[in-house]
Amino acid sequence: MELRTYQREAVDAVYRHLRGRDDNPCVVMPTASGKTPLIAAICRDTVQQWDGRVLILAHVKELLEQAVEKLHAMAPDLWNRIGVYSAGLNSRDTDHPIIVAGIQSVYKRAAQLDRFDLILLDESHMLPPDGEGMYRTFLADATVVNPRVRLVGLTATPYRMTTGMICGPENLLNHVCYEVGVRELIVQGYLCPLKSKAGRQKADTSGLHVRGGEFIPGEVESLMDDDALVRAACREIVDCTQDRHSVLIFAAGVQHARHVLLIFAAGVQHARHVQRVLGEMRQECGFVCGETLPFERVGTLRRFREGTLKYLVNVNVLTTGFDAPNIDCVALLRPTNSPGLYYQMVGRGFRLHSNKTDCLVLDFGGNILRHGPVDDLRIEQPGNGNGEAPAKECPECCALIHAAYAKCPECGYEFPPPERNQHDTTASTAGVLSGQVEDTEHEVTDVIYSVHAKRDAPEDAPRTMRVQYQIGLYQWQSEWICFEHDGYARAKAVAWWGQRSNEPAPASAQEAVAICQAGGICTTSAIVVRHVAGEKFDRIVGYSLGAKPPALNGGDLAGPEPEYAWAEDDQIPF
């Protein structure tokens, strides 16, 4: 299977990290962006090119089954080289070069499984906080078997509410080596577009208390399990999803979910057309929770994936790892203080499917106003909030949109100018009205150069050099330099190059990347990023550059390979 451009970039970033650093990298990619092809590529390179062994760890049986199934589908050449070690799956393979294992089954058996060169951890946000956990126990023993073993994490949400980012000097994972965002992949057509709407009748969450970074579950369920609120929510869900095919509902608790199920089964008495629809759907609302028997859960989820079950209510079981591309509506009947959980719930609708053009998110818990628009998630480390609302609700159609919009894109409602106190404590840092310009200078801590090919472009289409500047712990800003284009784009690239290098302007993106990686370009210590309120992408408008390095004289270009070619290198990265 041919990797997408960003998947190839992620694989290359992992290899670059393993070769250049001694710690453990993490790849951050959105839900449904395709982490399995990335895993398959790393497994193939490790086994076929470098004669190594790979262990893929997961924390639940369903993720193990998915990993094996997807690896067989996407890497058929590896099917006879993949083994499974899981008590839950009644399999204890130890001899294959690729082992997919449940952490509960292997955390005391590192020596029995023998030497591994790479350990891949999907859903790595599930790693335990500091202290001895099953992962730490296993990795400590695996390091005794092979002191050079390396851990590579993959996740969509690289943080915990209680302890902050999962990467750090003292953590099992130390550095995010590659990250691609939701909005970027939606624009490129790899993720499903999302639209959001608030419930007309809302619960007041201001009285909820927080414990361990999350709202106290009992308080949440008590708040949401109000009969009038449940009836109004069920009525609105059915009313808004008459043209939808697969609706996944997240409830606040088991009793709340059963209440929802009861309302769906009995029908709603407030609106005739809604009552008629509910009456027809009485047998078409499923329910799963942690207590659901395995055979029941399998049957219910199969019907939901096949499309014969339109509505499915769940409690805390279909957030991480659940794959149903046909989901075209997600209803959040629970508030959460965790941006990770919010992301995972909304992420169930990210996947593309032939029967949907977008995914509707119905929010009855104030989550989008709390955490930000669904296509522009603002993930903050605990305690780093700036107090500004990342989203707002249209009073006419209840659409939830970015706070920068002056006009609702759904119904055209024009928001009045924001009211200000006579003396604000501090000036706002974000554009409020559409078109407002904000320039911010950022320190640059790392720069990555790579060859970029436009999606679905023909083989002979011009390529560009993508330059990624790290401007925060997990924040990157990109620009594309067009050496292979004509006219103004080429002239602009030549001018960009002339400010940074004593080398002649490259003729190709590949040549440019090779020169940059060989040290033929000056350092960039800071950039100025311009944000225009209402526009999708920020852009770079200024730079702080170091002195141009001496000319390479052509001799140093034989050093590092261009980034995109590292997967073809026969040098072992571990």
CB distance 253 to 289 below 8 Å: no
Q: Which residue has the higher pLDDT, 563 or 476?
A: 476
Task: Give me the mean pLDDT over the 193-199 stretch.
Answer: 84
Question: Taking Cα atoms as reference points, which of 461, 528, 522, 534 lies closest to residue 497?
Answer: 522
> Does any domain span residue 10?
yes
Across the range 402-410, mean pLDDT stands at 67
Coil, helix or strand at residue 27: strand
Same domain flag for 421 and 462: no
Report yes or no on 382 lying in a domain. yes
pLDDT at 276 over 90: no
What's the CA gap between 558 and 538, in Å, rounded?
Answer: 35
459 belongs to a structural domain: yes
pLDDT by residue (tens digit) across 335-346?
998 888 888 899
Cβ neighbours around 452 below 10 Å, total:
20
573 domain-assigned? no
Using alpha carbons, select from 45, 137, 141, 62 the residue that is nearest to residue 100: 62
Looking at per-residue confidence, does 508 or 531 come out higher? 508
Task: Please give the pLDDT value at position 296.
Answer: 93
pLDDT of 204 over the 90 cut: no
SS3 2: coil
DSSP string, 432-492: -STT-EEEEEEE--EEEEEEE--TT--TTS--EEEEEEE-SSS-EEEEEE-TTS-HHHHHH
Closest CA to 95 of 150, 134, 55, 43: 55
CB 74 within 8 A of CB 37: yes
User: Is residue 220 very low, low, confident or very high in pLDDT (cuts 50, 70, 90)?
Assistant: very high
Show Cβ contacts of residue 70 under 8 Å, excluding neighbours closer than 6 positions.
36, 40
Asked whether residue 574 is assigned to any structural domain, the reply reads: no
* Window from 99-108, 279-288, 507-516, 534-543 with minimum mean pLDDT: 279-288
CATH number at residue 173: 3.40.50.300
Domain count, the chain: 3
Q: Provide the pLDDT for residue 432.
A: 29
Residues 250 and 385 reside in one and the same domain:
yes
- Compute CA distances 259 → 90, 149, 227, 333, whole Å: 37, 50, 8, 12
* Cα–Cα dist 266/275, whole Å: 9
| pLDDT confidence band for 287 (50 / 70 / 90) | very high
pLDDT surpasses 90 at 267: no
| pLDDT value at residue 318 | 85
Given the structure tokens 């002649």, which residue do they identify? 504
User: Strand, helix or coil at 344?
Assistant: helix
- pTM to 2 decimals? 0.66
18-36 confidence digits (pLDDT tens): 999 999 999 999 988 988 8
First to last CA, the chain: 24
Residue 133 placed within a domain: yes
Higher pLDDT, residue 84 or 162: 84
pLDDT score of 325 more than 90: yes
**Together in a domain, 403 and 460:** no
Let me know: does 315 contact 257? Beta carbons within 8 Å. Answer: yes
Last residue of a domain, one of 388, 414, 431: 431
Question: What pLDDT sits at residue 385?
Answer: 46
Mean pLDDT for 99-120 is: 91
Give the mean model confidence (pLDDT) for residues 96-112.
Answer: 90
For residues 263-283, average pLDDT: 55
Are residues 480 and 392 both part of a single domain?
Answer: no
**Total Cβ atoms within 10 A of residue 269:** 11
Residues 464 and 479 in one domain: yes
Residue 466 has pLDDT above 90, yes or no: yes
pLDDT for position 166: 84
- List CB contacts of 567: < 8 A, sequence separation 6 or more: 8, 11, 12, 15, 41, 45
Asked if the model's pLDDT at residue 557 lies above 60, the reply is: no
CB atoms within 10 A of CB 434: 15
In terms of Cα–Cα distance, which of 184, 260, 247 is closest to 221? 260
User: Do residues 119 and 203 share a domain?
Assistant: no
Residues 42, 94, single domain; the answer is yes
Structure-token match 């289409």, residue found: 461
Q: Which residue has the higher pLDDT, 376 or 122?
A: 122
Are 165 and 223 part of one and the same domain? no
Q: How confident is the model at residue 570 (pLDDT cuts 50, 70, 90)?
A: very low
SS (H, E, C) 69-119: HHHHHHCHHHHHHEEEEECCCCEECCCCCEEEEEHHHHCCCHHHHCCCCEE
DSSP H stretches of helix in 314-387: 339-347, 367-371
Q: Do 83 and 57 belong to one domain?
A: yes
Q: Which of residues 379, 413, 431 is at a domain's end?
A: 431
Task: Please indicate, yes or no, if residue 393 is contained in any of the structural domains.
Answer: yes
Q: Both 242 and 299 in a single domain? A: yes
- Work out the pLDDT band at 387, boundaries 50, 70, 90: very low
Average pLDDT of the chain to the nearest whole number: 82
- pLDDT(516) > 80: yes
Domain shared by 201 and 156, yes or no: no
What confidence score (pLDDT) does residue 75 get? 80
Q: Bigger pLDDT: 397 or 477?
A: 477
Structure tokens at 250: 């997240």
pLDDT band at 502 (very low <50, low <70, confident <90, very high): very high
Does a structural domain hold residue 15?
Answer: yes
Residue 436: its pLDDT value, please? Answer: 61
Angstrom distance (rounded) from CA 425 to CA 408: 29
Mark whether 389 and 481 lie in a shared domain.
Answer: no
pLDDT tops 60 at residue 565: no
On the question of pLDDT at 186 being above 90, the answer is no
Domain final position from 399, 431, 463: 431
- Report the pLDDT value the prediction gives residue 430, as an integer from 0 to 100: 33
- pLDDT greater than 70 at residue 377: no
Structural domain of 319: 187-431
- Say what the pLDDT of residue 403 is: 64
Query: Is residue 46 very low, low, confident or very high in pLDDT (cuts 50, 70, 90)?
Result: very high
